Amino acid sequence: MRLRRLDLRAVDPEGMAAARTERTALVRRGAVPEPAIRVSARATLADVRARGAAAVRDANDRVGGGRPDGRLTVEAGELRSARDALSPPIRRALDQAIANISRFAETQLPASTRMQILPGIEIERRWTPLRSVGAYVPGGSAPYPSSLLMTAVPARVAGVQHVVVASPAGRDGQMDPVVLGAAGLLEIDTLLVAGGAQAIGALAYGLDEIGLAPVDRIVGPGNAWVTAAKIEVCGEVGIDLPAGPSEGLVLAAPPADPRRVALDLITQAEHGSDSPALLVTTDAAFADAVEREVDGLLAGARRHDILARALTEHGRIVLTASLDDAIDFVNDYGPEHLSVDVEPLEPTVERLRNAGSLFVGPWAPESAGDYATGANHVLPTGGLARSSGGLGVEAYGKYTQVQRVSREGLAAIRATVETLADAEGLQAHRDAVARRFEDER
């Protein structure tokens, strides 16, 4: 397979202008779904707000994701049974993943701070876990118990009181037994069987008919309709971030192994037919070798059609004149997943500012982080890694400012408050301070 190439090395002026245009399109791609999808999601959300559970069931019937009998939640007893029915290898894998995610999440617990600004003025920044969180876990064409762990474990570590998981049933109308078992292991409070925009609407607005209250924040990855719906509801409920198609970039050059690089590109393409997979390198011969390895791996791949479409439509090889130029491209692109296998390794990693998660060296495949290292795999896409980080414990709580001011403290800042209030023409603000002292006479 010949991947599309973007050659950023010195070429003729006309060719360089075209290359710069393509570079700009790549790095400014965005994570927000197209307008038609947002309109569709908005209509589904309005229906869920108006009709509640009936609208969710209707949407499940129309686009998939529901159970044949229309039940929207899974009973706690069913989750416990699924947990107990897990095979020993699956149970061990889930247990290790939960343990590793928990260990890393525990290091992220925010602390409250309290300090005296002046005598009589004390400010506290108090961190408090959210009351309830809704975690969206993709499903349908493929189950993702790993995403359930990545969204629910940090919630438990943070101390969230009520964790609701929304996940669609498979095409046969059945829930994946490993997803159910993982939910049982984590003692999820409510498991909602729904997908797409209808699931986001149920989490955001609640479903009185089944006793589901609105959550305080929605987290987790999803398809374009899930992302569009999260954007629409974020004025009423918190969200982690709008996540577009999963994407990966490999920064590699000799002496890296072309086969390992090809494996990482194939791994990224396996996320879906709309998943970008890019190789950035300074060596054209190395790029050729990687392409040959990709061809060999594709020949026997189980998800060949998805892989081939992703690589054909969204795969790229970016050639740069120097490692400095390669690093500049990567930082401008801001990939969700970034695999790094170049020399010098660690000095290069130190210069890479914008990525959701970095995988350093030849023994750090993306799939290690997707499942078991303990790092979270819910990450910014579409270039949002330039300004946002991956899902962490801090997303499951909030800070509240607490200001304690005594007479002595207010007297110390009285002139400042009155002067600035006058400058802004806000007399009531000025009087709220001044008249407190006048009342003492």
Tell me the longest C-alpha to C-alpha distance in the chain.
90
CB 256 within 8 A of CB 341: yes
Can you read off the two tokens belonging to residue 325? 């130029």
Q: Considering just the CA atoms, what is the radius of gyration of the chain in Å?
A: 26
Q: Which residues are catalytic?
A: 336-337
* Residue whose pair of structure tokens reads 């309290």 in the numeric block: 114
* 139 φ/ψ angles, rounded to the nearest 5 degrees: -165, -145
Closest CA to 182 of 101, 92, 83: 83
DSSP state at residue 189: S
DSSP state at residue 393: G
CA distances from 94 to 74, 102, 203, 265, 396 (A): 20, 12, 26, 26, 22
* 253 φ/ψ angles, rounded to the nearest 5 degrees: -160, 160
Give the number of other CB atoms < 10 A from CB of residue 414: 15
Can you read off the two tokens belonging to residue 321? 């004149």
CB 27 within 8 A of CB 318: no
Can you read off the two tokens belonging to residue 12? 């003729």
Ramachandran region, residue 196 (left: φ > 0; alpha: ψ -120 to 50; beta: rest) = left
Please report, as a single letter, which amino acid is at residue 36. Answer: A
Can you read off the two tokens belonging to residue 73? 């939640």
Q: How far apart are CA 163 and CA 340, in angstroms?
A: 36
Q: How far apart are CA 180 and CA 144, in angstroms?
A: 11
CA distances from 81 to 89, 180, 210 (A): 17, 9, 22
Q: What angle do CA 285, 306, 68 make, to 5 degrees?
A: 160
